[in-house]
Every structure is written in C-alpha cells, then in structure tokens.
Homo-oligomer: A and B are copies of this chain.
Amino acid sequence: MEHKPIYYSEYLQLDKILNAQAPESSKAGIRADDEMLFIIIHQSYELWFKQIMHEVNIAREVFRQPQISDNSPELMNVVHRLRRVTLILQMLVDKMDIIETMTPLDFLDFRDLLRPASGFQSIQFKQLEAALGLKFEQRFGQNYYTSQLNEGDINRVKDSEKEISLLELVNNWLERMPFFDHSSWQQVDNEHQSEHPFWQQYKDIYFSTLQPEERQNDVGFNMMFMNDKEYPAERRLSPRANRHALFIMLYRDYPLLQLPYELIGVLLDIDALMGQWRSRHLNMVKRMIGSRIGTGGSTGAGYLKSAMDSHFIYKEFAELTSYLIQRNKLPELDDSLKQKLMFSN
C-alpha cells in the first residue's frame, strides 16, 4: 500500500506552528522586540510539556497492568522514557538562560499588555504535576485556581487529578513485589509483615551502624517500615512499598533488581529537575519583576517559592537513603530468593 509522499513542512504543520505568534505589542502599535521571544519560549515549553506527558502516559499505561513480566521489555521501556524526560527537563531548565537575556526594562515594554495572563495558567504543567503524583491538597496557591483559571481549565486539571498517578502506580507495583512471598517466610509475612525475620535482622544491623547522635532514627525506622498503626496518612508510599524499595536499593546488584533500582533513581532525578526548574524560574521572576505583583495577580515570586518547598513528589524515596547500611554488612539472602533474582544460566 502506498502512502502520500511526505513533505517536511506539511508533516510538521509549520503553517500552524510558525503562524501562531501574534505579539500584543504589535496589535497595540508599540515596538517591543522581545515579545516574540516571550511567546516562542513559552510555546516551546508547552510543546515539551506535551512530549513529557506523552512519555509519562506511556509509563502509566505499563504500570496500570496487573503484572509486568520480568521478561518483557516494558520496565526497560519505562526507565528509558523517564530518562528521556530527565533530559527534556534538563533542557527546559538550561533554556532559562535564554529568557534571562530579556532585561526587566525590555519586559516592561509589553508586560502590562499581558494582564491578567500568567504562567500559572499553564494547564499542561499542572496536569504533569498531577500525573506524576501531586495531589490538589498538597498544592500551594489553591485559591489561584478559581481566581486565575477559567472553568474549562479548572476541570481539565481536576480530571487529571482524579486519574491514578505514576506515584500511586509505582507504590502499587512495589507492594506487589513477591520478594518474600515464595519462601517459608510467606506465612509470617502475611500476618506480621513487620516481624519478618529478614527485616528484624536488617533492623538490628541498621541500628548497630548508627552513630550515638543518630539514635533518633530508631523511631523513624519503625514508622517507615514496620506497618505501624500510626503511619502518617499523608505519606504516599506504604510501609510495604518502602520495604520493597529499600530492598531494591540494597540488593540492586542482582540482575532482576537493576531496572527497579534505575526506576527509583530516575523518579528522583525528575523530582530534582522539577525542583531546579521552579528554582530557576523563581530566580528569573525575582530579577524580572522583583517583589511586584505578577500579571495574574499573585506575587509570582511568592508562589514559586512556596511551590518549590512543597511540590516535591518523590521525596519519600529520597528519605529511604537514611536507612541504608554498608554493602559488606548486608544479610545474605537465602538461595531460593537469590534464584529468583538471577538469570538461570
């Protein structure tokens, strides 16, 4: 079957892409040469947000399955795509250099013409945060939703927040990991998971490695891993998922755990880069408008600062690091479990 010959500009729909820049300053008869940059950089950000959503959606599609075969390339595919997302985010962060070449005075030439639009109105960015795992109740500036977004956009974001997030899916996938279900430990595991001999042993070793001034970590360990009744409701990873994630971090030298280990790493990378993006963005806004009110009515700098401190999505993975021990003190795994984690040949 033949397809119509493809031509570059048609394939890329450049008639749309390159005719979507209509500076307000031109309409107002004012010369403000930097408004083109302002438009194009934001359009470019939005294009890339679409791409990131595309990748994150593929990742979610994989994790939505009840089971992922270790022999399918699916987990590898997820890690591959999320690693790509980190490169994209890195580029979006670095690209801030370009908008920073617009000086405050140059921005003032057309800033007032943009009221009351604001970067807060980027729906894709909010959808991305939601897809990754940010909940509405964790958001800073919830009141801006109604004051700055139109109804259609509010609904689009709300809908995204209702979907199961990557964080939830990863939590569920971690919970399903059968590390200790195949063995004689099974029975114990089901009833009193926290007292599974492996974890009891691990806990003892862990405490023996603490410096005296670190003994407070005692409480932390029980809370994080031991199915405590008082496990804080706001935490996103369950104790079972915490244990399995820690297990992955500890025994990542086994072939089966390599990809899971990389997955955790790349989620942390994404978080770190989203943080860098907010931090660079904040700094840019400060230099551009100081502490003045943003075009949308919020104090741009204030919003970004607060979001920066509270919008970390995967920080619970980072916290696990506190509970690692030295490799040479790791408990030896029993043979049947080892078999599960290795190639047969």
Contacts and interface: CB of A to CB of B under 8 A. Distances in A.
B13 A22 contact: yes
Best-surrounded residue of A76, A118, A124 (most CB of chain B within 10 A):
A76
A162 interface: no
Contacts of A115: 5-6
Nearest to A39: B12
A42 interface: yes
A130 interface: no
Contacts of A84: 37, 98, 101
A3 interface: yes
B292 A322 contact: yes
A318 interface: yes
Interface stretch (A102-110, A134-142, A163-171, A228-236): A102-110
Contacts of A20: 12-13, 16-17
Interface string A119-132: 10111100000000
A44 to B, nearest CB: 5
A323 interface: yes
Nearest to A327: B105
Nearest to A49: B18
A189 interface: no
State the oligomeric state as a number of copies: 4
A327 B30 CA distance: 12
Contacts of A322: 289-292
A46 B33 contact: no
A255 B74 CA distance: 10
A256 B6 contact: no
A50 interface: yes
Given A50-B40, A71-B254, A121-B9, A323 B290 contact: yes
A307 interface: no
A27 B1 CA distance: 13
Interface of A: 3, 5-9, 11-14, 16-22, 24, 27-28, 33, 36-37, 39-44, 46-48, 50-51, 54, 58, 70-73, 76, 80-81, 83-84, 87-88, 91, 94-95, 97-98, 101, 104-105, 108-109, 112-119, 121-124, 150, 153, 211, 213-214, 217, 249-250, 252-256, 258-259, 268, 272, 275-276, 279-280, 283, 286-293, 297, 318-328, 339-340, 342-345
15 contacts: A6-B24, A8-B122, A9-B121, A33-B54, A33-B58, A36-B51, A40-B51, A70-B345, A76-B258, A105-B252, A272-B283, A279-B279, A286-B318, A290-B320, A344-B344
Which 6 residue pairs spanning A and B have beta carbons closest together?
A: A290-B322, A8-B121, A290-B321, A344-B344, A73-B253, A13-B20
